[in-house]
Amino acid sequence: MALRRVVRGEVGFDPASRALTTMDASNYRRVPLGVVAPRDADDVAAVLEVCRTHGVPVVARGGGTSIAGQATGTGVVLDFTRHMNRLVSLDPGARTAVVQPGLVLDRLQEAAAPYGLRFGPDPSTHSRCTLGGMIGNNSCGPHSVAWGTTADSVAGLSVRTARGERLRLGREWAGAPDGLRALVEGETARLRTTFPELPRRISGYALDALLPEHGADVARSFCGSEGTLGILTEAVVRLVEAPRARALAVLGHADESAAAEAAAGLLPLGPLTVEGMAADLVPDPSGLPRGGAWLFVETGGESHGEARARAEAVVRAAGAETAGSLVVTDPAARRALWRMREDAAGTATRMPDGSEAWPGWEDCAVPPARLGAYLREFRGLLTAHGLRGTPYGHFGEGCVHVRIDFDLLTAAGVGRFRRFSEELADLVVAHGGSLSGEHGDGQARAELLPRMYGAGTVALFERVKAVWDPDDLLNPGMLVRPAPLDANLRFAVLPRRPVDVAFGYPADGGDFAAAVRRCVGVAKCRTASAADAAVMCPSFRATGEEEHSTRGRARLLHEMLAGELVTDGWRSTEVRDALDLCLSCKGCRSDCPVGVDMATYKAEFLHHHWAGRRRPAAHYAMGWLPVWLRWAARTGAVPVLNALASVRPLAALAKRAGGLAAERDIPRLARRTFSRWWRTRRPPAGSGSGSGPIPDLGLAPAPIPAPLVVLWPDTFTEYLSPEVGRAAVRVLEAAGLRVTLPPTLRLPRGALADGRTRTPAALLAARRGRVCCGLTYVSTGQLDRARRVMRRTLDLMAPVLAGTAPVVVLEPSCAAALRTDLPELLHDDPRAAGLAARVVTFAEALERHAPGWRPPVLDRPVAGQTHCHQHAVLGDAADRRLRTAAGLTGELSGGCCGLAGNFGFEDGHYEISAACAEDRLLPGVREAPEGAVVLADGFSCRTQLEQLAGVRGRHLAEVLAQALESRPREGDG
């Protein structure tokens, strides 16, 4: 192929590479011919030459988070994030930096911060948006009140034109292509009269920047051109001085219109931000002032006192217009509030009732003084069309973001989308506004530009485009001669009937396609460090590849359902390979603003992909782990197996046969299982715990007035780390709780506990079985087996479910499986939801059922990591409070340990697994203060620490039990 001969970067024309770039964060989908990741400007020039020769369009793509469709195209897509992503230089004295287009904004901010500097514009996607994308869209962000748009921060640009000319753009016509100056100077009257004066005018080409009174600034005029005029290869950007201290005034208002009317009056106080947010976007308003909408007004100063004083002045200026107010100076509290605001681009895609909402009219802007009146009319227009949306955004500059519950799946809904768009464009223009106030026009609004500028100015845009790009090679269909706003909608290719699936997808009406549609492309999963996103997406941080991000995998699943690029459905190797490095950490379930659950999607895919076929060996070795461990314990083979595993050649053969990573050590099995210890222990007098018949489970008055808890003997505690179970029993009983284990062999002979008849073989299997959450079967996609195991567990747990006792689960991954996978996989069995509701963590059990108990105080620092499943599904608030009560100080890191159950043991995953551990877990443990307790509640986390760092991590129950040993009691042992 011609491109591969002349380009040193990667060239991808395979289905996976193309599928990953069919969409951005908009409603649109266009299938490219291929993707090129250029290594430098020469590669860019080579791509342009080849594509011009063959008449193939070129689309420049930064992080791919554009929400108007301008990062999609039918030709060759240039991905600058792989190689052209460097900070070339930074000059603190001149307050400038030289950057490549693929540099992520946060990396520039980190480099500038030691000098007290920053780049002024900062969109909510700052952790993954690129400088090239920001220049292409003239991005802004909340601090544009103080520091303007990206165009205000650009000093010079290096550009390649479609015909290969190298230009350096600047002021006084520097770098202007031939013919541009003459064209503009012939239209100065039009340029002085047709461009509205408002801070957030992003729509169209910024031709007024070429007027002499504006310095004939070609670089500024290029900003916001959406890749249609030239390809940016390097930029010189200005930096601003960052305030030494900040404070945040939060003002409550009756609704967003009232908040908007108040916003303009605060601008004379010189705030850094004036952001508005309606209540529907705030899942938990506790801690916020009363109100139906809020203004977030940030202030800065040379000291904390000065910043706070300015925030208090904002509160006084707001006066009686507010329903309430507060001033926040604590950095962590401010970050939490800003995170709520930044996540709105995702949370707004779901209405309060869970229905879908979409971009399309995401960011129009009006003069700030008219924003309140505009919002009232906007609400009226929504009502007239039977639509809903929740406004938020940059109220201080009159810019409103909103996702609207358009029906983009039916012809009638798409027709309503068009009619609403046309009427809203007229409303914006009537208020003197801009169709785009931040993210550009793209396909979403370019068709409507004549309503804003008039036909004559739009014709001028076309003539300017022809000067820069006479062959119409660069991003055609954007800004000039645009595609219709209701064409190329990404949902049109999806199947109309629900796909037959195993999981219930309760939040998506049981529709797998609707679950996949959750990904709207805001790309929070593409953050570079776990500090930006607490867990997701560890594999992307390890590889930097789009296909290993949550968004990339969702895109491939979308294309699998579409069937155009990925044509073999559930048998797709492209989807399989992308999901192979998904750790099933579930981080996206909580960290993704729209709740994409890639762990569930992966299990679903593997279930269908391997149906009727021989699976990888690791699926049998690791997926059936509970069976192998139970067999080893029952046959007395544990000593022999441990001895064999210590012989390297034999261990190597076993790992090869089982599809396990050669670099891994095989964990040693416990010589005595937790259940066997439980049956032989002598319970302390008066505890009510014991190994005989199951004590009362709430069906009759308890003989001892102590709360009963059922301790779940998960596979890892039972066979691999029974010391955790023993420690938990010690602590729970010390807290005054009665402990029992789930039943094993207490089913009647004729039928199972729920009255359903079974074959003799099935009944025998159930009577001999143990409870199991099914985690290992789910994670390997063996969902039929998982359902059988789960149903048997529900049969065994019938006496527990008939009572009221909580079920304490020590292993976070098993607790998460019982809380989520169980009811979602057995969505037709009401007992599943009943058991899920009973599940509590170790810390939750102590807090809820032994509220008067106080743990021993250790007064020691802690290190380690919150288990990824606990973060994503269970929450760790109770654990934090328990640690604080025990005098365990410090914070556990986020992220994922990288072992993630079977993932880190599977052949081919070791390097990624280790890289994930090096992201946060291992550095945090190495940097821990002397004497720190290394906490790791998950068996995977403890194994990873031991095998990669030689460190023994401990469950919180072990730490507390050891502290209680100063008060030994009879019966332990």
The string of pLDDT tens digits covering residues 540-554 is 999 999 999 999 999
pLDDT at 692 over 50: no
3-class secondary structure per residue, 757-770:
CCCHHHHHHHHCCC
pLDDT at 750 over 70: no
How far, in Å, are 450, 679, 690, 705, 731 from residue 696 at the CA level?
Answer: 76, 17, 12, 11, 21
3-class secondary structure per residue, 289-316:
CCCCEEEEEEEEECCHHHHHHHHHHHHH
pLDDT at 360: 85
Q: How many CA atoms lie within 13 A of 103 on its CB side?
A: 25
Cα gap 161→238, rounded to integer Å: 24
Q: Which residues contact 492 (CB under 8 A, 6 or more apart)?
A: 29
Residue with tokens 């999963």: 525
pLDDT at 308 over 70: yes
Q: Which residues contact 307 (CB under 8 A, 6 or more apart)?
A: 243, 245, 246, 247, 299, 300, 301, 329
Mean pLDDT, the chain, as a whole number?
92
**pTM higher than 0.85:** yes
In single-letter form, the type of residue at position 894 comes to: G
Phi/psi at 689 (nearest 5 deg)? Answer: -85, 155
pLDDT at 759 over 50: no
If you ran DSSP here, which 8-state letter would residue 325 be given?
Answer: E
pLDDT at 685: 65
Q: How many CB atoms lie within 10 A of CB 967?
A: 8
Phi/psi at 69 (nearest 5 deg)? Answer: 100, 0
- 3-state SS assignment for residue 390: coil
Which ranges of 363-437 does DSSP label H, i.e. alpha helix?
371-384, 411-430
pLDDT in tens, 183-195: 999 999 999 999 9
Asked if 700 and 657 touch (Cβ cutoff 8 Å), the reply is no
Q: Which two tokens stand for residue 60?
A: 């420049």
Greatest alpha-carbon span in the chain? 99
- 3-state SS assignment for residue 465: helix
CA angle 623, 624, 627 (to 5 degrees): 155
pLDDT at 761 over 50: no
pLDDT at 63: 84
Strands 293-301 and 96-99, how do they pair?
Answer: unpaired
Q: Which residues contact 99 (CB under 8 A, 6 or more apart)?
A: 86, 87, 88, 108, 131, 234, 235, 237
Q: Which two tokens stand for residue 602?
A: 């992966």
Cα gap 812→792, rounded to integer Å: 21
If one compares 747 and 266, the residue with the highest pLDDT of the two is: 266
pLDDT at 688 over 70: no
pLDDT at 100 over 80: yes
If you ran DSSP here, which 8-state letter would residue 670 be given?
Answer: P
Q: Which of 444, 168, 954 is nearest to 945 (CA)?
A: 954
Strands annotated E in 837-885:
839-840, 860-864
pLDDT at 763 over 50: no
Q: How many CB atoms lie within 10 A of CB 635?
A: 10
Cα gap 717→897, rounded to integer Å: 19
- 3-state SS assignment for residue 422: helix
pLDDT at 752: 46
Percent of the chain past pLDDT 90, that is, above it, reads: 85
| Band (430; pLDDT cuts 50, 70, 90) | very high
| Band (604; pLDDT cuts 50, 70, 90) | very high
Phi/psi at 399 (nearest 5 deg)? Answer: -105, 130
Query: Cis bond leading into 140, ω under 30°?
Result: no
Q: Find the mean pLDDT for residues 341-369.
A: 84
pLDDT at 686: 61
pLDDT at 749: 46
Q: Find the mean pLDDT for residues 517-538.
A: 81
Q: How many CB atoms lie within 10 A of CB 875?
A: 15
Q: Find the mean pLDDT for residues 13-24.
A: 96
Q: How many CA atoms lie within 13 A of 797 on its CB side?
A: 27
Q: Which residues contact 401 (CB under 8 A, 6 or more apart)?
A: 344, 345, 348, 362, 363, 391, 392, 393, 394, 438
pLDDT at 702: 44
| Band (62; pLDDT cuts 50, 70, 90) | confident
Q: Which two tokens stand for residue 270?
A: 């010189």
Q: Is the dihedral of CA 86, 21, 604, 818 positive or negative?
A: positive
pLDDT at 429: 97
pLDDT at 331 over 60: yes
pLDDT at 319: 85
pLDDT in tens, 890-940: 999 888 999 999 999 999 999 999 999 999 999 999 999 999 999 999 999
pLDDT at 153 over 70: yes
Q: Which two tokens stand for residue 711?
A: 């301790």
Q: Which of 800, 784, 552, 819 is nearest to 696 (CA)?
A: 800
Residue with tokens 């770039």: 21
Strands 293-301 and 273-278, how do they pair?
Answer: antiparallel
pLDDT in tens, 224-264: 999 999 999 999 999 999 999 999 999 999 999 999 999 99
pLDDT at 341: 79
Q: Find the mean pLDDT for residues 12-41.
A: 96
Q: Find the mean pLDDT for residues 604-609.
A: 98
Cα torsion through 524, 530, 533, 537, rounded to 10: 50
Asked if 712 and 809 touch (Cβ cutoff 8 Å), the reply is yes
If one compares 442 and 755, the residue with the highest pLDDT of the two is: 442
Q: Which of 490, 505, 494 is nearest to 597 (CA)?
A: 505
pLDDT at 606: 98
Q: Find the mean pLDDT for residues 659-672.
A: 96
Residues in the chain: 973
Asked if 394 and 122 touch (Cβ cutoff 8 Å), the reply is no
pLDDT at 756: 44
Q: Which two tokens stand for residue 911?
A: 């390097």
pLDDT at 287: 81
If one compares 353 and 446, the residue with the highest pLDDT of the two is: 446
pLDDT at 968 over 90: no
Q: Which two tokens stand for residue 444?
A: 């979403």
Cα gap 37→20, rounded to integer Å: 13
Q: Give the H or E element holding residue 543.
A: helix 538-543
Q: Find the mean pLDDT for residues 442-454.
A: 96
Q: Produce one character per residue of 342-378: b if its CB has 16 or more CB atoms within 10 Å, e if not.
A: bbbbbbbbbbeeeebbbbbbbbbbbbbebbbebbbeb
pLDDT at 145 over 60: yes
Q: How many helices (H) and strands (E) does the chain have?
A: 45, 24
| Band (354; pLDDT cuts 50, 70, 90) | confident
Asked if 66 and 439 touch (Cβ cutoff 8 Å), the reply is yes
Cα gap 632→931, rounded to integer Å: 37
Q: Which residues contact 41 (CB under 8 A, 6 or more apart)?
A: 158, 160, 166, 233, 234
pLDDT at 425 over 90: yes
If you ran DSSP here, which 8-state letter would residue 173 be given?
Answer: T
